[in-house]
Amino acid sequence: MAGQSCLISNDWICGEYLRTRGQELTDATLQHVGITLASVAIGLLVAFPLALLARRWRAAAGPVLGLTTVLYTVPSLAMFSLLVPFFGLSVSVVVTGLVLYSLTILVRNILAGLASVPEEAREAARGMGYGPVRLLFGVELPLALPALMAGLRITTVSTISLTTVGAILHYGGLGNLVYDGMHSYFKAQVLTASVLCVALAVAADLLLLLVQRLLTPWTRAGKGAV
């Protein structure tokens, strides 16, 4: 049988592998997507107040930016390992590590986005009687969206790629398949999981680009008017 032989001869590309291990691949992909979604969502929830804090008090800006940059320097294997004593061998270790990495770019881009809001827009909103909260969510945040979304795209793509290292704790999504395939020299499994991982990153990037275009229709309208 030609189909069977590609599993036995350990080919890189193997249709039989896709057919017989479909469930395994789906589970790994779902875990990968779940870990990425949780990390990026928590990252946003943490980065937003941090960025606001850094903007409100100049004294806080240096330490916040400095600390998030230092965190980015820590190699992923070390980061996950350092978190093990706090959370045990659980998925929380991987998610926390990825959240910490995401902060560097998210905080920077949210700050840059808020800084790019024209002072006139703020003045106009204040003149119309906007309070600070309504000003933030009604005027500043929408205008900061392009920079924020750019940061979100970079973060999501690198989070998807870094999730694979979670395989050392067996919470690495597709990384688990790469890790296991490495030990058993299973070429089809390693290649398929790697390709899926890259495809996932590209798909997420395009999806976020689409969301950005839908959320900020004025950026395109402006181009046409000029």
Partner 1 sequence: MGVVERTWSWLATGAHWSGPDGVWHRLGEHLFLTAVCLAISCAIALPVAVLLGHLGKGGALAVNISNAGRAVPTFAVLVLLLLSPLGTHGSWPTVIALVLFAIPPLLTNAYVGMREVDRDVVEAARGMGMTGRQLIARVELPLAFPLIVTGVRTAAVQVVATTTLAALPGGGGLGRIITAGFRLTDTAQVVAGAVLVAALALLVEGVLMLAERLFDPVRRRTGPVPG
User: Applying CB under 8 A, which part among 47-55, 78-86, 113-121, 211-219 lies near partner 1?
Assistant: 78-86
Question: Do 93 and 168 meet the contact criterion of CB atoms below 8 Å apart?
Answer: no
Q: Cα separations (Å) of 91 from 19, 110, 147, 154?
A: 29, 27, 30, 23
Q: Could you say which of 54, 93, 111, 160 contacts partner 1 (CB under 8 A)?
A: 160
Cβ-based nearer residue to partner 1, 149 or 178: 178
Q: Cα separations (Å) of 41 from 25, 35, 81, 99, 187?
A: 24, 10, 22, 9, 34
DSSP string, 43-85: HHHHHHHHHHHHHH-HHHHHHHHHHHHHHHHS-HHHHHHHHHH
Cβ-based nearer residue to partner 1, 99 or 125: 99
Kindly state whether residue 103 participates in binding partner 1, applying the rule CB under 8 A: no
Query: Residue 20 Cβ, how far from partner 1 at the closest point, in Å?
Result: 20
Q: Of residues 165-224, which lie at the interface with partner 1 (CB under 8 A)?
A: 165, 167-168, 175, 178-179, 181-182, 185, 187, 190-191, 193-194, 197-198, 201-202, 205
Query: Residue 73 Cβ, how far from partner 1 at the closest point, in Å?
Result: 5
* C-alpha Rg value of the chain to the nearest Å: 22
Query: Residue 162 Cβ, how far from partner 1 at the closest point, in Å?
Result: 7
User: Applying CB under 8 A, which part among 39-47, 79-87, 142-150, 210-218 lies near partner 1?
Assistant: 79-87
Q: Of residues 48-77, which lie at the interface with partner 1 (CB under 8 A)?
A: 70, 73-77
Q: Of residues 130-159, which lie at the interface with partner 1 (CB under 8 A)?
A: 154, 157-158
Kindly state whether residue 9 participates in binding partner 1, applying the rule CB under 8 A: no
Q: What are phi and psi of 9, to 5 degrees?
A: -80, 0
Question: Do 108 and 155 meet the contact criterion of CB atoms below 8 Å apart?
Answer: no
Cβ-based nearer residue to partner 1, 74 or 112: 74
Kindly state whether residue 39 participates in binding partner 1, applying the rule CB under 8 A: no
Kindly state whether residue 79 participates in binding partner 1, applying the rule CB under 8 A: yes
Question: Do 50 and 60 meet the contact criterion of CB atoms below 8 Å apart?
Answer: no
Cα-Cα-Cα-Cα dihedral sign, residues 63, 68, 74, 79: positive
Question: Do 217 and 225 meet the contact criterion of CB atoms below 8 Å apart?
Answer: no
Site for partner 1, rule CB under 8 A: 70, 73-79, 81-82, 84-85, 154, 157-158, 160-162, 164-165, 167-168, 175, 178-179, 181-182, 185, 187, 190-191, 193-194, 197-198, 201-202, 205
